[in-house]
Amino acid sequence: MTAFEVARRLVDEEDPQSGDVLAKIEASIQTFGALEQKVEQAQIASSDQTDFLAYFVPVANRNGLAPAVICISREGETAATLLGRLLPTVVGRGISVLVVSHDDVSSRWRGQSKILLSGCLDYLLVRPDVDTTRIGIYGEGLSASLATDFAVSDRRVAAASCDGGLWNWTRTLASVGWMTRTADRSGEDVLSSRRLRLIRQLRCPVLVVAGGRNIVSAAEAIKLQADCTAARIDLEVAIPRIVRTPAGEIENFVTSDESIFGWLRHKLTRNLAP
């Protein structure tokens, strides 16, 4: 699965071979579903009657309840594409995952994305193998912003790998014409205060993934982390490594995924007995 993901990133999206790689990823997922740890197709229903399909990967051979993470793909990527990349990372980690497509849960009108993600959470809440007090959320690309908004709106989210509100924050700054690089120290204090006001709405531990293909700049994420450290807010920043190849720069998604899901597992299981 990792090799297929590397091939997908090396092939141009408009290249005919790109479709072949995606087809092989989906075929591999179907094969994986025949193994001991099955991949299940989940029908997600929401309160606005908008149903869609997702993938659920339960923890194999576990007695009792397991933590779970809602994973939202990057814009333009299917749930199968994200699942194909994450399978080698999540297997054996002791957490279940529910993988959904950005296109299925994003919306043009405010509030619907939260309704659709609430449907994902409701699906997990009724499963007999999920610990309902240990549900996290993870979003890639623009979905990192969706993950933030949902974690703010639903206090049942126990950990969030998201953008920490920085995407909406950046758009707000642009809309009012503020300059973030200012020599005025009082201006920096105002910016820090406003950043903290946003992050305090998140009542769970937060991991912000910045740089690379992510929507959050590393510099802004580091500023936010410094503010949160001073305010004793549980926020960490992860910056993916970039690998240089003859075909160009590729984000080292293997180490990045290991870091993200290692953090999620730690936050979702730290108060549980082994």
pLDDT tens, position by position, 100-149: 999 999 976 767 899 999 999 999 999 999 999 999 999 999 999 999 99
CATH code of 167's domain: 3.40.50.1820
122-131, 156-165, 173-182: which has the minimum mean pLDDT? 173-182
Instruction: Determine the Cα–Cα distance for residues 199 and 196; give it in Å rounded to an integer.
Output: 5
Residue 139 maps to a domain: yes
Instruction: Determine the Cα–Cα distance for residues 112 and 118; give it in Å rounded to an integer.
Output: 10
Q: Which domain holds residue 41?
A: 2-269
Instruction: Determine the Cα–Cα distance for residues 203 and 120; give it in Å rounded to an integer.
Output: 20
Domains identified in the chain, total number? 1
At residue 155 the predicted structure's pLDDT band, cuts being 50, 70 and 90, is very high
- Judge whether 10 and 250 are in contact, CB under 8 Å: yes
pLDDT confidence of residue 173 = 65
Going by C-alpha positions, the residue among 28, 166, 14, 39 that lies closest to residue 90 is 39
CA 79 to centroid of chain Cα atoms:
12
pLDDT confidence of residue 52 = 92
Instruction: Determine the Cα–Cα distance for residues 64 and 272; give it in Å rounded to an integer.
Output: 12
Q: What is the mean pLDDT of the chain?
A: 81
At residue 7 the predicted structure's pLDDT band, cuts being 50, 70 and 90, is very low
Residue 231 maps to a domain: yes
Residue 218 maps to a domain: yes
Residue 245 maps to a domain: yes
Q: At what angle do helices 166-176 and 218-230 cross, to 10 degrees?
A: 110
Res. 262: pLDDT tops 60? yes
Burial (Cβ within 10 Å: 0-12, 13-18, ≥19) of residue 29: buried
Residue 83 maps to a domain: yes
Q: What contacts 261, CB < 8 A, 6 or more positions away?
A: 69, 86, 89, 90, 93, 95
Highest mean pLDDT out of 20-29, 83-92, 102-111, 178-187: 83-92
Going by C-alpha positions, the residue among 112, 48, 44, 47 that lies closest to residue 79 is 44
Residue, of 84 and 248, whose pLDDT is higher: 84
Residue 274 maps to a domain: no
Helices (H) and strands (E) counted in the chain, each on its own, are 10, 10
At residue 37 the predicted structure's pLDDT band, cuts being 50, 70 and 90, is low
What pTM was computed for the model?
0.81
- Judge whether 143 and 106 are in contact, CB under 8 Å: yes
At residue 274 the predicted structure's pLDDT band, cuts being 50, 70 and 90, is very low
Residue 165 maps to a domain: yes
pLDDT confidence of residue 247 = 60
> How much is the average pLDDT of 83-91?
88
Residue 157 maps to a domain: yes
